[in-house]
Amino acid sequence: MSHTEASPTPSADPNGRVILRKGRARPLWFGHPWVYANAVEKVEGTPEPGDVVSLVDGDGRFIGQGLWNPRSQIPVRVLTRDDEALDAAFFVRRLQEAQSRRAAIGLPNEDTTVYRLVNSEGDQLPGLVVDVYGKAVAVQITTLGLWQRRELVFEALAQTLAPEAIYQVAAGSYAELEGFVSVAGVARGPSHTSVSCREDGIALEVEPLVGQKTGMFIDQRPARQRVGQWARGRRVLDCYAYAGGFALQAARGQAASVTAVDSSPRAVTRIEAHAAANQVAVTAVEADVFRFLQAATPGAYDLIIVDPPKFARARKDLEAARKGYERLNTLALRAAAPGALVVSCSCSQNVSGDDLERIVAAAGKAAGRRVTLLERLGPGADHPLPPAFPEGQYLKVLCAYVD
């Protein structure tokens, strides 16, 4: 793997022109931000990986500008539809626009200081995720071109948000696909193991450099809120609880009891600390979720959350993932009491909403339970998407009633 360092002053103007094949520009005219490799007819000029390129259709009509990476199956991701320099001022403008979108939906506020400020393509900054945790921000960069311009991103964040610290979160396999080495660390400000924030009034401690994603599953806020609304008087089981987000909402919602299960000792410790800090009762259990559910008394729970890690990382994994999801949901339904509510989630992009519905239906049949779908949820409003970008719809949540 090559290690591509940031150039001191990466080019802000186009160093080449990418011409699409006839008929392949239609998705981009409707807002799709990606150019797939098989849509490229030819490249004029000699752009280096990470350079700005202009994008035109087969008739020579200007579509926009993006960052070039011939190594990727997505060699161009569109950052702007205008003829403008992708310089420091550009990134400041994009962040200000993202702030305006969050302000429109009431974020941040006194009760919620954790939210997504930049959702990659949804904020016209493909390859960039910025999550705000109170007075700190966590940044994940997943494309070569933005990695080369990371100092511009950090400076723009310093100007617009003035956070106490900026954490740089490793990009893992994304970086490998793009051809750069992503390292985790503190980009600006003091280094702390954890940062304090609040979600719906619940006090949280987040570890950006060692936690999953950028430290927390911010996208599940709507489902956590729903669990809090439905929890009163119910025996609640939170499977794959991580830091206890669902469990804490349920406990605050006056559940009769709350059990949070995770295989990670670190997660269990964090759940217990969060419960103590918020003065709620949660029983945290270190266990494999499949084994825990297999041993559970049938009908033991009135509200079950099933929020597993990604089972299908690639399309080739889909069949194995489907079987895993079905087995997991079958076990959960067997543990559900008559009249229980089950919240079943999938964060696998390769598992569609229709796939998840079929999985839950099959699980109901296998468990001998009648399942009625009540609601479909997804990421919160701080995770916007372009209207013509189904690839961005990764999180699926089904809320069901069990007879």
Enzyme catalytic residues: 347
* Residue 243 near residue 274 (C-beta atoms within 8 A): yes
Tokens for 325, please give them. 């999801």
The 3-class SS string of 49-115 reads CCCEEEEECCCCCEEEEEEECCCCCCCEEEEECCCCCCCHHHHHHHHHHHHHHHHHCCCCCCCCCEE
Alpha carbons 203 and 402: distance in angstroms, whole number: 32
The bridge status of strand 136-141 relative to strand 114-119 is unpaired
CA distance 306 to 328: 8
Q: Say if residue 357 is exposed, middle or buried (CB neighbours under 10 Å; 0-12, 13-18, 19+).
A: middle
